[in-house]
């Protein structure tokens, strides 16, 4: 078994903005290599005897299964920790939780609401902390997206990605990520739902290194022009259910359908982080059609996160 690169050993993964261009490329290279090993039936126990604590303040299908199965395939053990299982948020501070878990685990993955909670956990933990999702960013999803795009398009740099929908954690992490890999990105969101201005500014700054073009517009047709990759997400994320009706009205013109996709390149691919609401942010003919690669994308959560864990938590 080839030794894994140790340049990210002990690091946290809080946002892709914190990583260099070469570090993002390294994660994707390792994801490709580890995926190939798994498909070939070659054991790759890079984390033999290691333990990962998985804190879930928000439930998830893909995040839990990919981290838990991934840790097993890497030779380690994953421990699921729901809000009912730990004291964090019920009297014990995030800092104290970080100190305690650092004495017992080799790494922590947390899926929660506030980005600040992840950052505080990382500040006080002596072991790597991986952001499995916050309301602000979702770096693990975007690594899986890039792995999928690379597999289907053969490249990342020089492509154009159109994101249509809510300027949420997916949009934020795509902005960060595209800037790092040299992929042009145009985000189309209605006024009042556009990405955070600071994140857009940081992405534009990062893009100076790679030459990527970073745009935010309100017209989805503009975003879709000559797009190689089309991505959307639900209009109301977890915790925003009370805003569903209001958001349906605001996003009425932002559905990814055949009319809108006619403005993309003929060979565009469609991605969605899932779960999807067919008939809302995307029509069935798109997500279930020939341009869709969402099932490859979902599987690649496993391979991308195995690379992250192997690189960060290794002995």
Residue 272 is assigned to a ligand binding site: no
Does 153 share its domain with 133?
A: no
Q: Do the annotations mark residue 189 as ligand-binding? A: no
Work out the number of other CB atoms within 10 angstroms of the CB of residue 40. Answer: 7
Range of the domain at 208: 141-297
pLDDT at site 250: 95
Q: Per-residue pLDDT tens for 203-256?
A: 999 999 999 999 999 999 999 999 999 999 999 877 777 888 899 999 999 999
At residue 2, the pLDDT reads: 84
In angstroms, the CA 315 to CA 94 distance is 26
Same domain, 73 and 172: no
On whether 140 is known to bind a ligand per the annotation, the reply is yes
Rounded distance between C-alpha atoms, residue 66 and residue 49, angstroms: 18
Does 176 fall in a domain? yes
Looking at the domain assignment, is residue 208 inside a domain? yes
Nearest alpha-carbon partner for 263 in 191, 186, 177: 186
**What is the model's pLDDT at position 87?**
87
Question: Which residues are identified as catalytic?
Answer: 111, 138, 141, 233, 273, 301
Residue among 143, 151, 118 at smallest CA distance from 307: 143
On the 0-12 / 13-18 / 19+ scale of CB atoms within 10 A, 41 is: exposed
pLDDT of residue 1: 80
Q: Is residue 14 part of a domain?
A: no
CATH number at residue 287: 3.40.50.1370
pLDDT tens digits, one per residue of 257-282:
999 999 999 999 999 999 999 999 99
Percent of the chain's residues with pLDDT above 70: 99
Q: How many CA atoms lie within 13 A of 145 on its CB side?
A: 28
Does 237 carry a binding-site annotation? yes
Residues 284 and 150 in one domain: yes
Same domain, 70 and 181: no
Name residues of the chain where pLDDT drops below 50.
none
* Structural domain includes residue 25: yes
Owner of token pair 């952001």: 131
Q: Which run of H or of E encompasses 73?
A: helix 62-73
Same domain, 145 and 285: yes
282 and 151 assigned to the same domain: yes
CA 25 – CA 69 distance, rounded (Å): 24
């Amino acid at each position: 078994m080839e030794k894994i690169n140790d340049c990210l050993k002990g690091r946290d993964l809080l946002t892709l903005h914190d990583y260099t261009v070469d570090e993002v490329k390294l994660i994707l290279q390792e994801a490709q290599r580890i995926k190939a090993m798994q498909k070939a039936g070659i054991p790759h126990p890079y984390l033999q005897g290691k333990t990962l604590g998985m804190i879930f303040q928000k439930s998830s299908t893909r995040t839990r299964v990919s981290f838990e199965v991934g840790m097993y395939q890497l030779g380690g053990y994953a421990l699921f920790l729901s809000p009912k299982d730990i004291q964090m948020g019920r009297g014990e501070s995030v800092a104290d939780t970080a100190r305690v878990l650092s004495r017992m685990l080799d790494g922590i993955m947390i899926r929660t609401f506030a980005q600040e909670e992840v950052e505080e956990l990382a500040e006080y933990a002596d072991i790597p902390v991986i952001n499995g999702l916050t309301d602000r960013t979702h770096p693990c999803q975007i690594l899986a997206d890039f792995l999928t795009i690379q597999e289907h398009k053969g490249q990342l740099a020089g492509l154009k990605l159109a994101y249509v929908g809510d300027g949420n954690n997916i949009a934020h992490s795509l902005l960060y990520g595209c800037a790092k890999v040299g992929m042009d990105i145009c985000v189309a969101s209605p006024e009042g739902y556009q990405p955070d201005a600071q994140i857009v500014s940081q992405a534009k700054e990062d893009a100076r290194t790679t030459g990527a073009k970073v745009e935010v517009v309100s017209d989805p047709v503009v975003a879709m022009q000559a797009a190689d990759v089309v991505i959307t997400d639900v209009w109301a994320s977890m915790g925003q259910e009370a805003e569903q009706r209001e958001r349906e009205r605001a996003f009425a013109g932002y559905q990814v359908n055949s009319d809108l996709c006619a403005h993309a390149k003929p060979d565009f691919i469609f991605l969605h982080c899932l779960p999807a609401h067919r008939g809302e942010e995307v029509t069935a003919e798109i997500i279930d059609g020939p341009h869709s690669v969402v099932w490859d994308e979902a599987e690649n959560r496993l391979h991308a996160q195995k690379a992250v864990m192997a690189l960060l938590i290794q002995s």
